[in-house]
Chains A and B, each alone.
Chain A
C-alpha cells in the first residue's frame, strides 16, 4: 500500500468512524428516549422495559444505513483530497478499503451485540437468534454446528453491507457530478419515477382479475436460483444454499464498485 493510499484510508476511516459514533449515539438516544416518552405520555410506564428496548436495537440496520449514506457523501471528501494532491484513483481505492473495514468490523461488533446482549435479553439461544435473522434461510446449511453457521452468516452479512456501501459510493459519485439544485431534483424525482414505473409495469401485466397475462415462470425461477432455493427436495427454511446469493452479491459489488470508479473519474471541482 502506498503512503498516499495509507494516509487517505486513515483519514477517511477516522472521518467515517467519527460520523458512525455520532450516528450511533443519536440513534441509541432516540431509540431509548422516544419509547420511554411514549410510554410515559400514554400511561404505560409499567410496561416499558429498558432492557427490552435495548435488546430490540438493530445494529445491522444502522450499519447498513450508515454505510450507504456516509459513502454517498462524495464531493466534500473529493475537494479536500484533490486540494491535498490525492488522485481520484487513490480516493476511490481508499473509500473501498474503508467500506470493507467498516462492513466487516461493524458486522463483527453487531454480531457480538446481537448474540452477546440482544439474544440473552430476549431469552433466545444462539441458534434461535440466528433463525430470527434474514440469514435464517441458510441457517442450517453448514450442518448442526451453530458457530459455523453463525460465522457463515457474518461473512454473508458483511458482503451484503459492503455492497450497500459500494452502492452508496456509486450513487454519491453520480450525484457529485451535478449541481446542488440538480441533485435535489434527482433525489426527489427518481423515487417518484420508480413508483410510476412500477405501477405501469403492474398495470400492463395484470389482467384485472388477479391473474397476469404475462408468464413470469422464468423470472420466478431466476429469483429462486439467486436466493439459493433448493433445486431438489423440499424448500425448508435453513437449508437454502447461500453460495448463489453470495456469488450474486460479489458480482453486484464488482458492478457497483466499477460504476463508482467510472463516475469517480469524472469528478471535478465546481466553481
Chain B
C-alpha cells in the first residue's frame, strides 16, 4: 500500500528536470516536499498524477501503474497552482462535478469550510481572486474521498488568518480520517510542525529523504570563535556557514565526531527545518555571500 516513484527522469527541451528519482509515499502520513524554485516539485507531482508523462521511469500505486488507470487516479487528488477548472463554472457546480467523478465527496464539510473561509459558492471560478481560488481548491482537496492528497503551494495568496485556518482544518481532517498528504511549499516554517517525513529536491535529485525528527537530530548549528569552530567541525559534513562579528557558525548535516571534545567556547544546537533546507540548497555563490 503505497505510491512508488521508480527511476523517474524528466527532460524538457534537452534540460534535465528530474534525474533518476526514487521515492515512496506511504499511507496515512503527512509529507513535506521541499525544493527551491524550479527544482522540479510541480513536475514530480504532475507525473505522479499522470498529468504529464515521465521521460523514463514508472509511478505505481499499490503495485499498479497510475498511467491511464482510472482506479489508481481515483485515489489521488492533486491541488495544483495551475487552474484546471472551467472559468465560467460556479463553485457549487464544481463541487458537484467533483462528486460526479470522485464519488463520496463530503459536501457537508465543503459547505462548512466554504462558510468558514468566506467563499461564495454561487460565484463563478473566474471571478475569484487568487486567494479564493486557492481556498476553493483546498476545500476540494480536504473533502475529496482519496487516499493521497498532493498540495502544491497550498497557501498561495492566502492571508495569515486563512493560512492558520487551513492548517487547523488539515490537522482536524487528518485526525478524523487519516490519509496521505504531501505538501509542497516554500513556507517551511509554517509546515515544519505538521509534516512527519520530508523530501528535499535539489539539483534534480532527492537530497534528503527521512523522518523529520531523524533529519533534525543529525542537523547541527555549531557556533563560536572561528578558530574553535573550524577545529571542531574539521572533517564533518559542513553544509553552510555564517559569520557575524567575531562569531562563526558552521551548519553540519550528519554525525558529529563523538570522540572529539566540544570546546567550552563552542555552542552546539540543532537546526530547524528551514535553516537546514536553506543550507542544503544554497548555491556556492549564495553560500559565499554569507561568508563576509
Partner of B49, one of A8, A10, A80, A82: A82
Chain B residues with CB under 8 Å of A82's CB are 49-51, 73, 84
- The segment from B96-104, B187-195, B262-270 that touches chain A is B96-104
Asked whether any CB of chain B lies closer than 8 Å to the CB of A250, the reply is no
Contact (Cβ within 8 A) A87 B77: no
Contact (Cβ within 8 A) B73 A85: yes
Asked whether any CB of chain B lies closer than 8 Å to the CB of A215, the reply is no
Given contact pairs A4-B101, A81-B101, A90 touches B85 in the complex (Cβ within 8 A): no
Asked whether any CB of chain B lies closer than 8 Å to the CB of A83, the reply is yes
Nearest Cβ in chain B — how far from A88, in angstroms?
Answer: 6
Nearest Cβ in chain A — how far from B79, in angstroms?
Answer: 9
Bound state CA distance, A82 and B70, in angstroms? 10
Bound state CA distance, A8 and B101, in angstroms? 7
Bound state CA distance, A89 and B50, in angstroms? 12
Contact (Cβ within 8 A) A269 B46: yes
Chain A residues with CB under 8 Å of B52's CB are 268-269
Contact (Cβ within 8 A) A90 B100: no
Contact (Cβ within 8 A) B69 A268: no
Contact (Cβ within 8 A) A87 B69: yes
Partner of A271, one of B82, B100, B146: B82
Given contact pairs A4-B101, A82-B51, A268-B52, A87 touches B84 in the complex (Cβ within 8 A): no
Given contact pairs A268-B53, A269-B51, A90 touches B82 in the complex (Cβ within 8 A): no
Chain B residues with CB under 8 Å of A89's CB are 68
Contact (Cβ within 8 A) A84 B102: yes
Contact (Cβ within 8 A) A86 B68: no
Nearest Cβ in chain B — how far from A8, in angstroms?
Answer: 7
Bound state CA distance, A2 and B68, in angstroms? 14
Chain B residues with CB under 8 Å of A5's CB are 70
Q: Which A1-52 residues have C-beta < 8 A from chain B?
A: 2-5, 7-8, 10-11
Asked whether any CB of chain A lies closer than 8 Å to the CB of B246, the reply is no
Contact (Cβ within 8 A) A84 B51: no
Partner of A90, one of B49, B70, B103: B70
Asked whether any CB of chain A lies closer than 8 Å to the CB of B86, the reply is yes
Chain A residues with CB under 8 Å of B77's CB are 85
Q: Which B67-109 residues have C-beta < 8 A from chain A?
A: 68-70, 73-78, 80, 82, 84-86, 97-98, 100-103
Nearest Cβ in chain A — how far from B180, in angstroms?
Answer: 15
Most A CB atoms within 10 A — which of B70, B75, B86? B70
Bound state CA distance, A76 and B83, in angstroms? 11
Given contact pairs A4-B70, A268-B53, A269-B52, A84 touches B46 in the complex (Cβ within 8 A): no
Partner of A10, one of B46, B74, B100: B100
Interface of B is mostly: loop
Asked whether any CB of chain B lies closer than 8 Å to the CB of A79, the reply is yes
Bound state CA distance, A5 and B101, in angstroms? 9
Nearest Cβ in chain B — how far from A6, in angstroms?
Answer: 10
Partner of B102, one of A10, A79, A85: A85
Closest chain A residue to B46 by CB distance? A269
Contact (Cβ within 8 A) A269 B74: no
Chain A residues with CB under 8 Å of B85's CB are 80, 83
Partner of A88, one of B68, B80, B102: B68
Most B CB atoms within 10 A — which of A10, A84, A85? A85
Bound state CA distance, A176 and B199, in angstroms? 34
Contact (Cβ within 8 A) B50 A87: yes
Closest chain A residue to B81 by CB distance? A271
Chain B residues with CB under 8 Å of A265's CB are 68
Chain A residues with CB under 8 Å of B97's CB are 11, 80, 84
Chain B residues with CB under 8 Å of A88's CB are 68
Given contact pairs A269-B82, A269-B84, A2 touches B100 in the complex (Cβ within 8 A): no
Nearest Cβ in chain B — how far from A77, in angstroms?
Answer: 9
Chain A residues with CB under 8 Å of B74's CB are 4, 85
Chain A residues with CB under 8 Å of B73's CB are 82, 85-87
Q: Which B15-61 residues have C-beta < 8 A from chain A?
A: 46, 49-53
Q: Which A54-86 residues have C-beta < 8 A from chain B?
A: 76, 79-86
Nearest Cβ in chain A — how far from B102, in angstroms?
Answer: 6
Q: Chain B 99-123, CB within 8 Å of chain A: the 1/0 string?
A: 0111100000000000000000000
Chain B residues with CB under 8 Å of A84's CB are 97-98, 101-102
Nearest Cβ in chain B — how far from A102, in angstroms?
Answer: 20
Contact (Cβ within 8 A) B70 A86: yes
Nearest Cβ in chain B — how far from A228, in angstroms?
Answer: 40
Most A CB atoms within 10 A — which of B80, B84, B97? B84
Closest chain B residue to A77 by CB distance? B86
Q: Which residues of B contact A (CB under 8 A)?
A: 46, 49-53, 68-70, 73-78, 80, 82, 84-86, 97-98, 100-103, 146
15 interchain pairs (CB within 8 A)? Answer: A4-B70, A4-B101, A7-B100, A79-B84, A82-B73, A83-B80, A85-B73, A85-B77, A85-B102, A86-B73, A86-B101, A87-B69, A87-B70, A269-B51, A269-B84
10 more CB-based (< 8 A) A-B contacts, given A84-B97, A87-B70: A3-B103, A7-B100, A7-B101, A80-B86, A82-B49, A83-B80, A83-B84, A85-B70, A86-B70, A86-B73
